[in-house]
Structure 1
Amino acid sequence: MLKGSGAKVRYIGRNQLIKYQCHPTESEAMEFVRKNTTIPIPKVFGVYNREDGSQDLVLELLPGSALNVTWQTLTLEEKSDLVTELAGYLLQLRCLQPRKEGFVGSLMLGSSYDHRLGGRRFGPFESIADFHKFVRRGDSMDLWNFDKDVTDVHNKSDSYVTKFTHADMSPESILVKNRKITGIIDWEFSGWFPEYWEYTKMYFGWRPYRGDFYHEMDKGITTYPQELAADKATLKVYDIWSYDIDRPRRSVDEGKWREWDVAMRR
């Protein structure tokens, strides 16, 4: 059921599993989504608190196989139908009302975790502008004048709204049986993020087999091509592990950036 986000999992019986050492924000998000949407997610049968602040979760084992396993066996029509179903669930998430306008962080207004931004928790942020500054590792916008996508996106931070976001909506997180979605799993990255984050995060960790998945998704949901380009640009300069140190490993250097850009295109 779980694709493996670093958490240890043990199956108990035929219909349950234990997911160990989860952050409390994961169970909070799952219960919130279950109560406020029709999205199929695992029931939380039990929560056991550890001394280190983490939790062991007893979860429902949902039927089905991960979409990355079954995607290539589906017809074009079946793929389109699944994407339409998924788009409806994403719309439900995006209709949830934020607890605080412009806030970026976990469901309950705390810190977040996302492997796109390193291996430790970050935030919360009172505004999307503050979040964008974190993505730039504190670098001034003046240092990004050579990249129109980054300057356009980060200079219009106030024009975005925050949406509740799963933030890992890859085929590995989607369970399917009989050509229907039976579950959306792995909610540890979820929280209130800029409206484009769900879209750009789908493209993080690109895999060849996801090519037509992206193509179908682009036909069924709101797309953010410039925001995706900006995210890719910042990722070239600040690798994910740079977020795990207290000071930026390097600041933007236009000449080096162009060297990296050429290398990435080879």
Structure 2
Amino acid sequence: MSTISATFRPPTDLWRDVPILGRLWLAFPARLRLSIYHFIWWAADRIYGRHLTTRVRRILPGIYLKYGQIKASEPHAMVLLRRHTKLYSSIALDYIPHELHPRYNLPPIDVAFLLMTAARGQRLMDVEHTLEPEQITTIGLDLRQYLSDMHNIPNPYKYGLCSAAGAGLDALLFGNNDLPTSEDIRSFHAWLRERMGRHWPVMQPRVQPIFSKYDDQQPVFSHGDLSEDNIMVHNGRLSGLIDWETAGWMPPYWDYVLARWHYSPACKTIVRLAIPEHSDRERYEMIVSAGVSRGYDPANFDSFETTDVI
């Protein structure tokens, strides 16, 4: 999966969306900033140890450096959020994509450094055991307003459905490759129907009502991965969302379908409170359609009435 799906906005445009110190840092050449990031990462590996799962390190109070296969959609989403809303999240300070050349003549890998501010609060997964039922309800209602404001972020690109960077969208539910851009929701559903191929006659009664309901609606800016590790909480209230690599303009049902709540009853309650207009049947049938589009037989999936995965 290519990580540099679109070129990040030039620093001259980014400057108006970062704090003053960030603007001063962006005045240095990208090659110099990249060298410093490499040195910081190298030094941190030797001080704290190298771990394959380590993607983010705190390098200053309130400042984090993220490294790896980071899609351009993540900093783009942060910029759009800061530019068009007053919602809380991390602030993208710098993003430098480059190629990593592995040993043994292996092909180069697209990687990037992302410099960003810390998000306020703690992950829901770290505090949910301390939350009272009324606090969980409050967080769900906070998230409802957060998503409502987020949905109004305008799309500056020529594609109706695309990532925050204007390219293909990362949606692991549909496979390891990015979803292609689409002109509108109807076109996306046509693509999905084509992907289901010979299984479409079986799937049509299950998903055509959903397709027909949303075909003519407008895409909304979506996070694409609501989960207990991406919802931030502070003092019993929602304090923001993190990890925006999956963000983009998608059908209104997108955040409900792609939410990950299987191991967190609190997250399940919060998302259901935040997005009450969408049904578990829609969620399940779209999950099944994603599986069928990846080559699975519909017979492998239970009906909505008998499933226990929702």
Q: Please state which band the TM-score falls in when normalised by the shorter chain.
A: 0.7 to 0.9
In 2, Cα distance between equivalents of 1:71 and 1:109: 35
Gaps of 5+ in 2: 1-52, 100-108
- Are 2:81 and 1:33 equivalent residues in the alignment? yes
Q: Following superposition of structure 1 onto structure 2, how do residues 1-266 of structure 1 map, counting pairs within 5 Å?
A: 8-21=55-68, 22-51=70-99, 54-99=111-156, 103-136=160-193, 138-139=195-196, 143-145=200-202, 148-202=205-259, 204=260, 206-210=261-265, 212-225=266-279, 226-238=281-293, 242=294, 249=295, 257-258=298-299, 260-261=301-302
Percent identity reads 22
| In structure 2, distance between residues paired with 1:165 and 1:146 | 26
Q: CA shift at 1:63, angstroms?
A: 3.7
User: Which is further off, 78-87 or 122-131?
Assistant: 122-131
The answer for unaligned runs of 5 or more in structure 1 is: 1-5, 243-248
- Asked if structure 1 preserves the Cα contact closer than 8 Å seen for 2:222 and 2:250, the reply is yes
Distance 1:54 1:130, change over 3 A: farther
Over 3 Å counting, the alpha-carbon distance change for 1:236 and 1:54 in structure 2 is closer
- Cα contact 1:95–1:163 (8 A) shared by 2: yes
Scaled by the length of structure 2, the TM-score of the pair is: 0.69
Letter of the 1:214 counterpart? K
Tell me the SS of whatever aligns to 1:123. coil
CA distance in 2, matches of 1:11, 1:159: 45
For 2:182 and 2:150, the matched residues in 1 are separated by 20
**What is the RMSD of the two structures over their aligned residues, measured on CA atoms?**
2.9
Residues 104 and 193, structure 1, Cα contact 8 Å, conserved in 2: yes
Q: Does the CA contact (< 8 Å) of 2:163 and 2:247 recur in 1?
A: yes
* Distance change in 2, residues 1:70/1:34 (3 Å): same
Asked if structure 2 preserves the Cα contact closer than 8 Å seen for 1:102 and 1:161, the reply is no
TM-superposed CA distance for 1:218, in Å, is: 2.4
Rate the CA distance shift 1:7–1:151 in 2: closer, same or farther, 3 A.
Answer: farther
User: CA contact under 8 A between 1:43 and 1:60: conserved in structure 2?
Assistant: yes
Kindly tell me: are residues 31 and 117 of structure 1, through their superposed partners in 2, closer, same or farther at Cα, counting changes over 3 Å? Answer: same
Distance 1:192 1:127 in 2: 10
* Inter-CA distance 259–65: structure 2 relative to 1 (3 Å threshold): closer
CA distance in 2, matches of 1:175, 1:157: 30
Q: Which amino acid aligns with 1:39?
A: L
| Residues 256 and 271, structure 2, Cα contact 8 Å, conserved in 1 | no
Instruction: Give the stretch that moved more between structures: 165-174 or 38-47.
Output: 38-47
One-letter code of the match for 1:76? P
> Shift of the alpha carbon at 1:216?
4.3
